[in-house]
Chain A
Amino acid sequence: DAGVIQSPRHEVTEMGQEVTLRCKPISGHNSLFWYRQTMMRGLELLIYFNNNVPIDDSGMPEDRFSAKMPNASFSTLKIQPSEPRDSAVYFCASRTGGPRQETQYFGPGTRLLVL
């Protein structure tokens, strides 16, 4: 199994530009999570999906952030327009559904730098 796949692995962009991060969850997993990690705030949940449906987006910082999951094998996190304070590592994670199916498998992350 290839694990959770994220692209790009690194992204450097200028303030005001649109950024799109991509994630392919592990096949058969029906929950997908987007996290952001910074030194100041640690690992924060942004949004999660069950069966491609957004369940909780209360962690999305503001309207500049949006996430979609058009099918079971693909999700995107978009930032438009990007700002320097968005610089962070963004992780995607997936897991199977059901009780006690708690293990979230994390992708390698996308390191985003907004200049």
Chain B
Amino acid sequence: QKEVEQNSGPLSVPEGAIASLNCTYSDRGSQSFFWYRQYSGKSPELIMSIYSNGDKEDGRFTAQLNKASQYVSLLIRDSQPSDSATYLCAVGTQGGSEKLVFGKGTKLTVNP
């Protein structure tokens, strides 16, 4: 059973701080990794994807991947109240990204 684990949270940070979200996965063969954001009562939306070891930056978001440690993280710089949501880590299986296994999510609250 392929598993994706996320830090349980909830995570609370002040506005302007860095929020750090972590994820580990069990399938060493996984090649694709994603972070989805889900606002309360809404559907998940993709915010970052990463395929290679290292960092990938997109605006205030940075995804970090370490395949040797089977670890993915998401950093949100200058956190805003609008970033308050549940963040879902997803890992592609079957040699590609066709089938995703999701973690249960970490709820982030950014306090003004």
Task: Point out residues on A near B: beta carbons under 8 Å.
Answer: 31, 41-45, 48, 50, 55-56, 91, 99-100, 102-104, 106-109
Contacts and interface: CB of A to CB of B under 8 A. Distances in A.
B43 A45 contact: no
A23 B79 CA distance: 35
Given A41-B104, A42-B105, A91-B44, 9 more contacts: A42-B102, A45-B99, A45-B101, A45-B102, A50-B98, A100-B97, A102-B34, A102-B92, A106-B44
Contacts of B44: 43, 91, 106
Given A48-B99, A56-B99, A100-B97, A106 B105 contact: no
B3 to A, nearest CB: 11
A43 B43 contact: no
Nearest to B105: A42
Interface in B61-78: none
B96 interface: yes
A91 B42 CA distance: 10
Interface of B: 32, 34, 42-46, 49, 51, 88, 92, 96-105
A103 B46 contact: yes
B56 to A, nearest CB: 14
A106 B97 contact: no
A109 B43 contact: yes
Contacts of A55: 98
A46 to B, nearest CB: 11
Given A42-B105, A43-B88, A104 B100 contact: yes
24 contacts: A31-B98, A42-B88, A42-B104, A43-B102, A43-B104, A43-B105, A44-B102, A45-B99, A45-B100, A45-B101, A48-B98, A91-B43, A91-B44, A99-B96, A100-B32, A100-B51, A100-B97, A102-B32, A102-B46, A102-B92, A103-B49, A104-B100, A106-B43, A106-B45
